[in-house]
Amino acid sequence: MKLQQAYAAESNAAGGWTLIGYTAPGNGTTTNFTYTGAINAGGSTSAATANAWKAAPKVNLNDCAASGSSWQVQVAPGDGGSIAFKSTITESKAGACQALTPTFTKIGQ
């Protein structure tokens, strides 16, 4: 979040991971997760973007199923270098993934 906020303050846009200096864990894949971003790595956008950051499990995590589950952050650049974030969890079984990260949806608020 801090990297996007700093970039937005200077450019009034959301930046791709490379542009803002972010590197995903394991360069995008770890034993348990695949990390992706919807903004081109070296690009930027002034439009609201769903899945600007997304982590999808590769394996079942307790009751959180690998298929159909993910943690994601939407970004929405505003006026004057501001940027808003919305963190959400998609779950195939209600509450199963949120139990693993109970405060994730509060990030950026």
**Model confidence pLDDT, tens digit, residues 74-101:** 999 988 899 999 999 999 889 999 999 9
User: C-alpha 101: how far from its chain's center?
Assistant: 14
**Model confidence pLDDT, tens digit, residues 5-38:** 999 999 999 999 999 999 999 999 999 999 999 9
CA trace torsion 65, 109, 107, 83 (10° rounding) = 110
What pTM was computed for the model?
A: 0.90
